[in-house]
A and B are shown apart, each in its own frame.
Chain A
Amino acid sequence: MTSTLTPVRKRSALTKGQLPKAAPYIVLAVALVLAAAILALIGFNPFGWAVVSAILFTAGLTGWSAAVEGSRRAKDRMVTCLVVGAFLIALLPLVSVIWTVLVKGLPGLMDPGFLSTSMNGVTGAFDNKAVEQGAPIVGGIYHAIIGTVLMTVLATLISVPVGLMTAIYLVEYGGDRPLARAITFFVDVMTGIPSIVAGLFAAAFFFAVVGPGTKTGAVAAVALSVLMIPVVVRSSEEMLRIVPNELREAAYALGVRKWRTILKVVLPTAISGIASGITLAIARVIGETAPILVAAGFATSINNNVFSGWMASLPTFIYTQILNPTSPSNPDPSNQRAWGAALVLIILVMLLNLVARLIARRFAPKAGR
């Protein structure tokens, strides 16, 4: 008798007043079609299509939700749209920058001798010839790579001992003393020093000590150290603080001196994090332009001596080639070189970031319990 009952499809009272699960997809499809239609009237471009669709989608979903679910749910859906939209907006410049550097940089990188020659003796006449007669673009970034490597290495040699020792002081000796708190505070403040001011400081210091107009790779290295030290201190300090205290106490219990405990127990435990922090700090200063421009000038020829003479670096090379092309009437070859250098620089920075991540993961300390 009961088998004749036919199941009636009825929405449960619990899900009443809710949009169906597929609602966002439906609204998205409608928004895409509508936006395409609107843009077809005023001229189509993909960027405008995306923007108009996003606006229509947000408005449509919010409106539908307001009608069915009430204003609270509608507001929630609108904020979700805005938050996701903010993330997509943030991705735009990243994708655009990397795309621009790749597309414009590859031809520059393909120039013969781009990585193995300097700009010594390259004049506007060569560039004019390259544009007018199709001659190959000469000149390269060898001198800039040498300069970048030398100055960064010197800056690292200055910053790492000072930064690491300071971090050890803060964690192992400083405690809650006023001096330790002052150092922590001023290290934080130092991270905010504008890079050009760091360059000016180094320049002003050497002008006063060595003589006016002293611009060498070493001056730039000092400027870079001012920017690098606080980064090294902060990352090393964080890493030293997570070394479990039991390890230190075990060493003390065996009668090991404090300094040997630090060197043999604490530092090896935290070394992966410290190394990755230092790599990130190098990645940060390798792209600095302003301090080098102020402190080392810019050179067009190879200079292997950081203690005398102007020095080029990749960032200053990019900057001067764009702003003051070798041949003012035909800036295209200069631009091509600049973008080639930009590609090399971005690859260097990304590699350093990758290496830092790998170090951090590979040699991560065993979690202490």
Chain B
Amino acid sequence: MTTTSLTKSRGAGHTGDKVFSAATLAAGCLILAVLFGVALFLVVQALPALTAPADQIQGGAGFLSYIWPLVIGTLIAAVIALAIATPVAIGVALFISHYAPRQLAAGLGYVVDLLAAIPSVIYGAWGVAFLAKEISPAYDWLAKYVGWLPIFQGPASATGKTILTAGIVLAVMVLPIITSLTREIFLQTPKLHEEAALALGATRWEMIRMTVLPFGRPGIISAVMLGLGRALGETMAVALVLSSGALTASLIQTGNQTIAAEIALNFPEASGVKVNTLIAAGLVLFVITLGVNMIARWVITRHKEFSGAN
């Protein structure tokens, strides 16, 4: 049977079709390649630091003892940021989704998004020029009255350039991320659930507690995880605000350092094995944030399959 001209696929533009689809495919694969390239090149450049003799690494005791205070410092700053930002962010998201007048809600959401638009270096500058100065009396007060707690042990830093200040600046920076994600989730709560709760005589808070929060729980968790990813990797705010030093338990003294800030402060002038050490530190940070983000995304996709919203 001969093919008729109608079913023949060699019409004008057939090559165009092939080229175009191949180009889009190549672009997609390039993205995957870049991500694996990130991991690959970091590993390659980090290897000399991992295999170098211990006394060549900064601190003179090998890579592990160099990196673990930085990891702890990074976690401390991120935990402070989340402890402050999460309750406020959920409050703001509830305000925009369920409390604010309908006409205002979109505008208010935009105002919160503006917080996300401000570059991180400006937050850092604000933290060091304004917040650190304004907050140091509060640190004196903490050292005086709750100084028996190891985390508030005095004497407080006179400049206010401490890990707690850095944590507060980070909290401001992750707030819009957590807010915008949880707001989206809260808005997806099935209207019928909300109305059923209200019809049974629930107050607004009871309605939120019985319908909005249980529905949004996976979304809240993943939003907080994404905020954690941002807080872990944030560089400039910490590099500018924190007057760094050795690992200390007290949050209101100078000291502690995060991986990202350590890299930013030292990389421009580094040479030799120092460069490899810093790249290895970056690799550690990459692995930590990658893990956090993958768990967060996994929670979100699992939630999508189970929720009745879609």
Contacts and interface: CB of A to CB of B under 8 A. Distances in A.
A196 B260 contact: yes
A119 interface: no
A207 interface: yes
Interface stretch (A34-42, A254-262, A361-369): A254-262
B236 interface: yes
Contacts of B230: 192
Interface in B3-55: 11, 13-14, 16-17, 19-21, 23-32, 34-35, 37-38, 41-42, 44-45
Contacts of B229: 192, 194
A338 B125 contact: yes
B282 A200 contact: yes
Interface string A191-209: 1111111101101110110
A307 B97 CA distance: 48
Nearest to A189: B293
Nearest to A80: B99
A226 B128 contact: no
A87 B119 contact: no
Contacts of B294: 189
Contacts, number: 276
A257 B10 CA distance: 12
B111 interface: yes
B32 A183 contact: yes
B239 interface: yes
B253 interface: no
Contacts of B27: 161-166, 169
Interface stretch (A4-12, A91-99, A132-140): A91-99
Interface residues of A, number: 95
B172 interface: yes
A293 B120 CA distance: 13
Contacts of A350: 114, 117
Nearest to A99: B130
A192 B226 contact: yes
Contact of B234 (A172, A194, A207, A213): A194
Contact of A193 (B95, B233, B267): B233
Given A76-B204, A87-B92, A168-B24, A97 B123 contact: yes
A75 B175 CA distance: 25
Contact of B35 (A94, A100, A190): A190
B259 to A, nearest CB: 8
B279 interface: yes
Contact of A172 (B24, B129, B205): B24
Contact of A315 (B117, B119, B179): B119
A76 B115 contact: no
30 contacts: A73-B203, A76-B204, A80-B204, A80-B205, A84-B95, A165-B24, A169-B21, A170-B28, A172-B24, A180-B28, A186-B31, A186-B32, A187-B31, A189-B293, A192-B233, A192-B292, A192-B296, A194-B233, A201-B41, A259-B17, A283-B117, A289-B119, A290-B120, A290-B235, A290-B260, A290-B263, A297-B268, A323-B239, A346-B122, A349-B117
Interface of A: 72-73, 75-76, 79-80, 82-87, 89-91, 93-94, 96-97, 100-101, 104, 161-166, 168-170, 172-174, 179-180, 182-183, 185-198, 200-201, 203-205, 207-208, 212-213, 226, 229-230, 233, 257-260, 262, 283-284, 286-290, 293-294, 297-298, 315, 318-319, 322-323, 335, 338-339, 342, 345-346, 349-350, 353
**Nearest 7 interchain pairs by C-beta:** A194-B233, A287-B119, A86-B91, A165-B27, A192-B293, A169-B24, A259-B20
